[in-house]
Structure 1
Amino acid sequence: MADYLNDMALFVEVVRANSFRRAAEALGMPNSTLSRRISLLEESIGLRLLHRTTRKIELTEAGQLYYERSKRIVEEARIAHEELGEMVAQPTGVLRMSLPVDFATTYLAPLLPEFADRYPGITFDMDLSPRNVDLVGEPFDLAIRMGAPEGTGLITRVVARVSARLYASPGYLEANGEPGHPGDLKNHQCLSMSTMPSWALNSGQEIFSVKVASKYRTNSVAMIRKLATLNMGIAFLPERIVADELAAGKLRQVLPRWIGDPGPVYAVTETRLLPAKTQRFIEFLREKLRDAA
C-alpha cells in the first residue's frame, strides 16, 4: 500500500508537469526511474494511465479518473503532513494525565503558567489521585509516579529526584523526646507511606536504614503531613511538601544532619512513540525539576 501511495504522488507530479523530464527535475530523481515507477503503477492497476509520445503525455480515460482521485488524496496527505509538522513545532490538544495530588499542587502547579505560555495550544485534564491508572485501558497520555510504578510493559522516564527529611511537631518532641540518631527512631511513632516500609538515611559519612513501625500507614502524603502537625509522630517527607508548616512553626526538622536518598519521580507512558504534547511536557518537567528537593 505504501508503494501505491508513493507512486500515486509521482503520477500526480507527472500529470501536473505534463512531462516526465520536468517532473523528474522537480522531484530530484532520474527520468528513467520515474518512468519505470509509473509503468509499475500501471501494471499493478492493470490499466494504461498515460499515452506517451516524444513530445508530450496524454491521459487515458482511466488515467483521467485516476488523476482526479489521486490529486485529492495527495493534497490531503500534504496538508496532514504540514499540520502534524506544525503540531510538533507548536503542539496542541488535551494532555490527559494522572498524578499524586501533593506532587501536583507542590511541584507542578507553580510551573504550569510558564508551560502554558510556552505551549498555549495544550490544555490539561488531570486526575489527582494515588491510584495506579491503567495506561493501556484508560484514556491517559501519561502518569506521574513517585517510586517505581507497577505494571509490566510500561515505559518509565525519570523526570526528577526528590530527597526526604525527618520532621515532627514541637508538641510531639516535647512529649516523646528528640532522637539523636536514626537508630532511635525504633522507639518513636513513624508516619510512613504504604510503599515505604523502611527509610534509607545518610549523613555523608554514614548510611542507615530504618525499618519503621507505625500505627498509621497511608498512601496519602497530605494525611501524613496533617498527622505530624497533630503531634502523632515523625514524618519523612520532602521539604517542599512541608514548607508552609515549617514556616508556621507547626513542624520542625529532626536529625538535620541526616537526609534520605534521592528518590526518582517517573513519567510513565504506555509507549515510547509519544505525541508532541506529551514529549514537550516530559521535557519541560525534566528541565524544571532537575534540582527539585
Structure 2
Amino acid sequence: MEMLEKIDQQWLKSFHCVYENNSFKRAAEFLSLPTSNVSRHIALLEEQLDVRLFDRTTRRICATDAGEHLYLRTQPLLDKLNDALEEVTQHSREVMGQLNVVMPDSPELAKAVVSFCAQYPAISLNCETNLSHKEDLLDGFDVIVSFHRGKLEDSNWIAKEIKRWPSVVVASPKLLHTRQRPFKITDLKHVPCISSFTALKGTPWVFRNSEGEQITQRVKSAFKVNSGQLAKAGALAGFGFAILPVEFCHEEIESGDLEVIELEYEPEDLVLYAFYASRKHVAKKIPAFIEHLKRQANNETSG
C-alpha cells in the first residue's frame, strides 16, 4: 500500500494514454491537457518507480519492457476500479448538489448562471467574482471561468473553451493627435497602453504571426484595469492604446470615436475558458454547467 500512496492516479492515466496512443501529443489531446503536463506525469511516475517506461526518439516513442509490464498488469485493475466507481456514483448522473464557481462579474455570465439554476432547481450555487484568485485557494471550487489570450499555462485543471472574440488594437483620435501612430508591435513600447492586471495576469500583450505562432510585446501602462468596460472607457478618453474584442467596440469604430491600429501582427483572440479539476469521475453538474455557459455565450447577440 505504501507504493500506491506515492502514485498519483493522474500519472497512471497519462501513462496509459501515452502507451495506447504511442504519442505524448495525441495523449495530451485526448486528455485535454497540455503536452508538458503529460510529459511531467510520466517523468514523475518514472522517478517514483525508478525505472524508464518509454524509449523516446525524435520520431517515435515505444514502451520499454518495464512499461509494457506495467500497462498489462494495471490496465485490468483500472478497468475494474472504473466499473466499481461508475456503479457507486450513479447518483451523480443527476444535475444536483452545491456548485462552487469563480467567474468574472459580467451581465452576460450572470444571465447564464441564473438560467442554469432555473433549469436545474436541485443546484445550490456558491459564486465568487473575485478575479485575483491564486492556485492554492481554488481547491474548493468546481469551475473557474476566466479570460485569457494566447497559450494557457500548465496546471492541473482541464480547460474548456466557452467563447472566443477576435480582437483589434484601437486608439482615440485624441490620442493619435498627440502620439505617433504605431506600425509595428515594438512601437508600442513608446506609447501609453491600457492593460489588465488580474484577468490576464498583467502579461505582455499577445499577438500571433501569419503561421499562428504567439508573439508577445511588453508595453508601458499607467491605466491597468480588470474590466473590458473600463478598458474601452479609458481608450475613448485617450488614456492609451487598447486591445479590445471587435464585437465590443464596433460601434465606436464605425462612429469614428475609436480607430483601428494596423500592425504587422494581429492580436490573439480573447478567449473565455471554464476550468475544472482533472478527476476521472466528474459530477454531472460540472459538464452540464459548462455546456450551458457555452450555449448561452454563443447564442447571445452583441448589443
User: TM-score with structure 2 length normalisation?
Assistant: 0.52
Query: How far off is 1:252 after superposition?
Result: 3.8
Equivalent-residue separation in structure 1 for 2:256 and 2:116 (angstroms): 33
Distance change >3 Å, CA 137–CA 149, structure 1 → 2: same
Question: What residue is the counterpart of 2:142 in the other structure?
Answer: 141
Equivalent-residue separation in structure 1 for 2:211 and 2:129 (angstroms): 38
Highest Rg: 1 or 2? 1
Q: Quick one: which amino acid aligns to residue 203 of structure 2?
A: M
Question: What residue is the counterpart of 2:283 in the other structure?
Answer: 275
Indicate the RMSD between aligned Cα atoms, in angstroms.
Answer: 4.1
Distance change >3 Å, CA 197–CA 113, structure 1 → 2: same
SS of the residue corresponding to residue 231 of structure 1 reads coil
Equivalent-residue separation in structure 1 for 2:133 and 2:145 (angstroms): 10
Question: What residue is the counterpart of 1:92 in the other structure?
Answer: 96
Equivalent-residue separation in structure 2 for 1:206 and 1:255 (angstroms): 17
Distance change >3 Å, CA 156–CA 205, structure 1 → 2: closer
SS of the residue corresponding to residue 215 of structure 1 reads strand
Which segment drifts farther, 236-245 or 277-286?
Answer: 236-245
Distance change >3 Å, CA 196–CA 82, structure 1 → 2: closer
Question: What residue is the counterpart of 1:131 in the other structure?
Answer: 132
Distance change >3 Å, CA 242–CA 115, structure 1 → 2: farther
Q: Pick from 167, 171, 174: which aligns with 2:174?
A: 171
Q: Quick one: which amino acid aligns to residue 218 of structure 1?
A: K
Q: Quick one: which amino acid aligns to residue 88 of structure 1?
A: R
Question: What residue is the counterpart of 1:215 in the other structure?
Answer: 221
Q: List gaps (5 residues or longer) in structure 2.
A: 1-86
Question: What residue is the counterpart of 1:22 in the other structure?
Answer: none
Equivalent-residue separation in structure 1 for 2:285 and 2:206 (angstroms): 36
Query: How far off is 1:233 after superposition?
Result: 0.9
Question: What residue is the counterpart of 1:189 in the other structure?
Answer: 192
Deviations 1:214-265 (A, max 9, x none): 1326361344333222211100122344467658765343329963233543
Query: Percent of aligned positions with the same letter in both sequences?
Result: 20
Mapped contact 2:183–2:264 kept (Cα < 8 A): no
Q: Quick one: which amino acid aligns to residue 170 of structure 1?
A: P
Residues 1:261 and 2:268 are matched in the alignment: yes
Query: How far off is 1:290 after superposition?
Result: 5.9
User: TM-score with structure 1 length normalisation?
Assistant: 0.54
Equivalent-residue separation in structure 1 for 2:90 and 2:272 (angstroms): 30
Equivalent-residue separation in structure 1 for 2:188 and 2:298 (angstroms): 31
Please give the residue correspondences for 1:23-42 in structure 2 after superposition, counting only pairs within 5 Å.
none
Distance change >3 Å, CA 208–CA 244, structure 1 → 2: same
Mapped contact 1:136–1:270 kept (Cα < 8 A): no
Distance change >3 Å, CA 200–CA 286, structure 1 → 2: same
Distance change >3 Å, CA 289–CA 118, structure 1 → 2: same
Q: Quick one: which amino acid aligns to residue 110 of structure 2?
A: A
Q: Pick from 278, 287, 292: which aligns with 1:284?
A: 292
SS of the residue corresponding to residue 232 of structure 1 reads coil
Deviations 1:140-178 (A, max 9, x none): 211112236667433333333333211222321232254
Equivalent-residue separation in structure 2 for 1:196 and 1:206 (angstroms): 19
Mapped contact 1:135–1:269 kept (Cα < 8 A): no
Question: What residue is the counterpart of 1:14 in the other structure?
Answer: none
Equivalent-residue separation in structure 1 for 2:186 and 2:156 (angstroms): 39
